[in-house]
Amino acid sequence: MSLLEKKVVVFGYGSQGHAHALNLKDCGFDVSVALREGSVSWDRAEKDGFKVLNLKEGAELADVAMLLVPDENQPELYNRYLKDGLKTGAFLGFAHGFNIHYGQITPREDLNVFMVAPKSPGHKVREKFLEKEGVPALISVYQDPSNVTLQLAKDWAKGVCLNLGVLKTTFKEETETDLFGEQAVLCGGLVELMKAGYETLLKAGYDERLAYFECVHEMKLIVDLVYSKGFAAMRESISNTAEYGDYVTGKKIITKESRENMKETLENIQNGRFAKDFILEGQAGYPILKTMRNRCKEEKIEIIGNQLRDMMSKNR
C-alpha cells in the first residue's frame, strides 16, 4: 500500500509542518493538518487549502501521523492524543530523532515508526520544492511491523524533499549529528565566528558597516559557492590573495582548543546531557531561550545589519 492510498495528517503547521503538508498536497497526497484548539496557525492552514482538525480528530483520522510540533512538546502530544488515538498499525513519522533516541516517546508496538529529516530549515524545504530543486533528507525506520515502512519513508522523502539526496540512517545517528552540526557549526559556531570577526574590526576602529559587510553579509556569498561546487571551486572564485590568506590563517582561528570544545560538545550530546538540559529548559518555561532571544535583538551587530538591509532594499 503506497502513501497515495493513505490519509496523511501533519501535526503542527510551523516551519517544517507547513512545508511537509504543502509539498505532499502539491504531489497529490490526501493531507490534513491537525492543530491544538485556538491555534494561531488554524486560519493560515485553512487558507492554504487544508482540512484542519483538532489533535484528537487528527489522531483518529491518520493512517500516517507526522509529528511536526517542537521536539519538547511531542511527548505530551503523543501521550495525550496519539498513544490511544492512533489506529492499530498506523504510521508515526518524525522529522528528527530526538524523542525516540532519548527515550521521551516509547511508541506502541503495533505502530510503524519512521523518520524523514530534511537537512534544511522548513521554509527552505518549501522554497526549494517550488524551485523544483529539493533538499537532502535522512530517512530511518525504528519499528516496522508492516514491513513497508521504509518504502513509505522513501515516498514521503520523495514528496517533500524531491529525492535530491536521500540517505538511510538510524535515529541515533541522525539525532547526534544533527544536534552537533547546529550547535558547533551551522548556528552556534557560525554566529560566534561572524560576531568575533565583526567585533575584532570594531575594536580596531573600523567602520561598523564595513565590518558587517565583511564578516556577516558576505558569508552567504562565499557559502553559496561552497554549496554549489565545494571548497576548491570556491577558492577558484576568490582572488589568489584571499586564497593564500585562507590557507595560512584558517587553522589559527579554529585551534586545537576549538576542536577539543567540539569534541566535548559531541560528548554532551552522546551522553544525553544536552538533551536533559534542554528538556529541563522547556519545563521551566524557557528562561535561557527567552533571555537570549531578547538580548540578541538588541545587539549592535543586529541593529547595523537591519540598517544595511534597509539601505540595500531601497536601492534594489
User: Is 13 one of the binding residues for ligand NAP (CB under 6 A)?
Assistant: yes
Q: Which is nearer to ligand NAP, 36 or 83 (CB)?
A: 36
Of these residues, 18, 96, 101, 217, which one is catalytic?
Answer: 96
The DSSP element (H or E) to which 114 belongs, if any, is: strand 112-118
Report the 10 Å Cβ neighbour count for 43. Answer: 10
Report the 10 Å Cβ neighbour count for 279. Answer: 18
**Contact with ligand NAP (CB under 6 A): which of 3, 35, 61, 65?**
35
Binding piece for ligand NAP, criterion CB under 6 A, among 70-78, 153-161, 202-210, 256-264: 70-78
Alpha-carbon Rg for the chain in angstroms: 22
Q: How far apart are CA 141 and CA 144, in angstroms?
A: 7
| Least gap, CB of 308 to ligand NAP (angstroms) | 25
User: Is 54 one of the binding residues for ligand NAP (CB under 6 A)?
Assistant: no
User: Is 118 one of the binding residues for ligand NAP (CB under 6 A)?
Assistant: yes
Binding piece for ligand NAP, criterion CB under 6 A, among 33-41, 134-142, 246-254, 277-285: 33-41
User: Is 126 one of the binding residues for ligand NAP (CB under 6 A)?
Assistant: no
Total residue length of the chain: 316
DSSP state of 14: S
**Contact with ligand NAP (CB under 6 A): which of 17, 85, 134, 189?**
17
| Least gap, CB of 123 to ligand NAP (angstroms) | 7
Q: Which three cell numbers stand for residue 19?
A: 512545508
User: Is 24 one of the binding residues for ligand NAP (CB under 6 A)?
Assistant: no
Binding piece for ligand NAP, criterion CB under 6 A, among 35-43, 157-165, 232-240, 260-268: 35-43
- Which residue in this structure is represented by grid cell 569534541? 263
Which DSSP string do the residues of 203-239 spell out, in sequence order? HTT--HHHHHIIIIIHHHHHHHHHHHH-HHHHHHHS-
Q: Partners of 65 in the beta sheet?
A: 9, 92
| Least gap, CB of 272 to ligand NAP (angstroms) | 16
Q: Which is nearer to ligand NAP, 34 or 202 (CB)?
A: 34
User: Is 16 one of the binding residues for ligand NAP (CB under 6 A)?
Assistant: yes
| Least gap, CB of 75 to ligand NAP (angstroms) | 10
Q: How far apart are CA 298 and CA 37, in angstroms?
A: 34
Q: CA nearest 119: which of 221, 219, 16, 26?
A: 16
Q: Which amino acid is at 28?
A: G
Query: Residues 212, 216, 217, 221: what is their CA dihedral angle, to the nearest 10 degrees?
Result: 150
User: Is 73 one of the binding residues for ligand NAP (CB under 6 A)?
Assistant: yes
Question: Could you tell me how far CA 124 lies from the centroid of its own chain?
Answer: 10
Q: Which is nearer to ligand NAP, 8 or 95 (CB)?
A: 95
User: Is 72 one of the binding residues for ligand NAP (CB under 6 A)?
Assistant: no
User: Is 41 one of the binding residues for ligand NAP (CB under 6 A)?
Assistant: yes
101 labelled catalytic: no
User: Is 14 one of the binding residues for ligand NAP (CB under 6 A)?
Assistant: yes
User: Is 185 one of the binding residues for ligand NAP (CB under 6 A)?
Assistant: no
User: Is 97 one of the binding residues for ligand NAP (CB under 6 A)?
Assistant: no
Query: What are the helix (H) ranges across the chain?
Result: 15-26, 42-47, 55-61, 74-77, 83-85, 98-101, 122-130, 149-161, 171-180, 188-203, 208-212, 218-229, 231-237, 240-253, 256-270, 273-283, 287-298, 300-314
| Least gap, CB of 232 to ligand NAP (angstroms) | 29
Binding site for ligand NAP (CB under 6 A): 12-17, 35-36, 39-41, 68-71, 73, 77, 95-96, 117-118, 121-122
Positions annotated as catalytic residues are 96
